[in-house]
Structure 1
Amino acid sequence: MLSHLTHHMTRRPQRFALLEQVAAQGSITKAAKAAGLSYKAAWDAIDELNNLAGQPLVERSVGGKGGGGARLTQEGARLLALYHRLEALREKVIESAEHVEDLERLERLMLQTSARNQLHGEVVAVEPKGHSDLITIRLPGGLQVLAQITRESTERLGLAPGRSVIVLIKASWLSLHEHAPVDAANALEGRVDTVTPAPSGPADIRLSLPNGQTLCVLLPAEAELSPAPGQTVFACFEPDQVLLGAPL
């Protein structure tokens, strides 16, 4: 029971184990193996960490010896050191909980999400639209995303200019275009990093945004665009396909 709860309290520690191995091994392939992750899972974890941090924690070069070289950025090293300090306090936190219910409550507050795209941003505007609100979010580097949510959600999350949020977009909700559609509410320009086709089902496309964040797109086989690595494309989605999360 306690081991399961402490896993959640440290917010998926295998991610930080991966950072440790990147620092030690200098290779994503070797780091993934040492951390007990597949190569793809390691890439996904690194992309998610970079996105949530708002700036790269790991720098990597695709195709190098051993599957590509990698190293922690200065910010990545700083956050890893911070994690080690927090880890040292973990047992004290567990011991200070007066009841098992305290730990169970913490567990519920630290849920994972199935949305692969999680981008850190900041609210810059809230515009009423009938029973909904149109939320303008600024991502690092000045990119913007529009989200349409209910008024109740706006109030419950305490959304207002300056509020930090996490933008959640499922990979299957994104469509790719060679040029930004004129009527697109959200069109993020990115460079195709990898294309992983599937024998049956959508291809897995990984995009790099100009600000260092990444997007994962599941592209159906019948899609008009067949992007190649290095190509510039636009990832489009509707405001009502954006989910928002905010710190408590």
Structure 2
Amino acid sequence: MTLPPLLAQYIARRPQRIELLRHIAEQGSITRAAKAAGLSYKGAWDAIDELNNLAQTPLVERVVGGKGGGGACLSAEGQRMLRLYQKLQALQAQVLEAAEDVGDLDLLGRLMLRTSARNQLHGRVTAIDAQGRNDEITLDLGEGLSLRAQITHDSTQTLTLVPGAGVVALIKAGWLCVLPLDAPAMPGHSCLQGVLEQVLKDARGPCEMRIGLANGQTLCALSEHCSIREGDSVNVWLDPANVLLGTPL
């Protein structure tokens, strides 16, 4: 059994996240685990959301009423991943030994870019519909959720996309529109229904919203509709043209 390629790459670039998971397993508290790993409370939840979204099943599970605030524990998959991380470290050591000079490592660093997109959702291609020079790619996110992305036909070929291929959808938080369930639909947009789990208000700009999806993934959105309450079901609308797709190198 191996880690999903994109998750393995993510962990390799961010070993601090592994430390966070280890502290969660030991302490059962997000607050204490974040402090031990050198992260802010918000930074810890951002990291957990990214890890859960990239994994095939969530690595961290929330525990209501946990001690120290923000209770959580590792899922069986999270515990398995911690064990596999030691093997990943051994592989990293082999790569470093194989590098002929510093330039090789610099090239690898450029090829494995980080992204500013807050949302990285793992899915599989279910359909590719040609629309002139563009293609509409339909992704299955699991649990009945689907997402559409509009990319050029050249990009489809470059990424070698075919039905069944695993991809990651990159979506900036500002591209999402969060609305109540009874709000009018947005024609031509994809819609993901979820539950508003947390609202972080900011007097200087849009509030930040965390929306839990049925497949265990989490969306982060910036919205002016701060009147929506935590615990409410919401629709998250997204223009397919604002979905970027990525595949493992």
Normalising by structure 2, report the TM-score. 0.91
Residue 187 of structure 1 is matched in structure 2 by 191
Distance 1:9 1:42, change over 3 A: closer
Residues 1:25 and 2:27 aligned together: yes
- For the 8 Å contact 2:28–2:66, the answer to whether it is kept is no
Q: Deviations over 1:9-32 (max 9, x none)?
A: 922111111111111111111100
1:245 partner letter: G
* Aligned residues with identical type, % of pairs: 54
2:114 partner letter: Q
Structure 1: segments with no counterpart, 5+ residues:
1-6
Structure 2: segments with no counterpart, 5+ residues:
1-8
Residue 227 of structure 1 is matched in structure 2 by 228
Residue 200 of structure 1 is matched in structure 2 by 204
- For the 8 Å contact 1:125–1:136, the answer to whether it is kept is yes
- Quote the Cα distance in structure 1 between the aligned partners of 2:90 and 2:30: 26
Residue 46 of structure 1 is matched in structure 2 by 48
Residue 217 of structure 1 is matched in structure 2 by 221
- Please list, as runs of the form range in 1=range in 2, the aligned pairs for 1:98-247 lying within 5 A after superposition: 98-179=100-181, 181=185, 183-220=187-224, 223=225, 226-247=227-248
Normalising by structure 1, report the TM-score. 0.91
Q: Deviations over 1:128-178 (max 9, x none)?
A: 001100000111223110000011111111111111100111110111121
- Quote the Cα distance in structure 2 between the aligned partners of 1:126 and 1:80: 36
2:213 partner letter: L
- For the 8 Å contact 2:198–2:209, the answer to whether it is kept is yes
SS across alignment from 2:100: coil
2:156 partner letter: T
- For the 8 Å contact 2:11–2:17, the answer to whether it is kept is no
- Quote the Cα distance in structure 2 between the aligned partners of 1:74 and 1:121: 21
Q: CA RMSD in A?
A: 1.7
SS across alignment from 2:13: coil
Runs of 4+ in 1 over 6 A off after TM superposition: none
- For the 8 Å contact 1:8–1:107, the answer to whether it is kept is no
The farther-off stretch of 19-28 and 61-70 is: 61-70
- Quote the Cα distance in structure 2 between the aligned partners of 1:89 and 1:51: 24
1:240 partner letter: A
Q: Provide the aligned length of Structure 1 versus Structure 2.
A: 239
- Displacement of 1:8 in angstroms is 8.4
Distance 1:162 1:8, change over 3 A: closer
Distance 1:109 1:51, change over 3 A: same
- Displacement of 1:108 in angstroms is 1.3
SS across alignment from 1:191: strand
The farther-off stretch of 93-102 and 158-167 is: 93-102
Distance 1:8 1:132, change over 3 A: closer
SS across alignment from 1:194: strand
- Quote the Cα distance in structure 2 between the aligned partners of 1:73 and 1:8: 19
- For the 8 Å contact 2:186–2:237, the answer to whether it is kept is no
2:112 partner letter: M
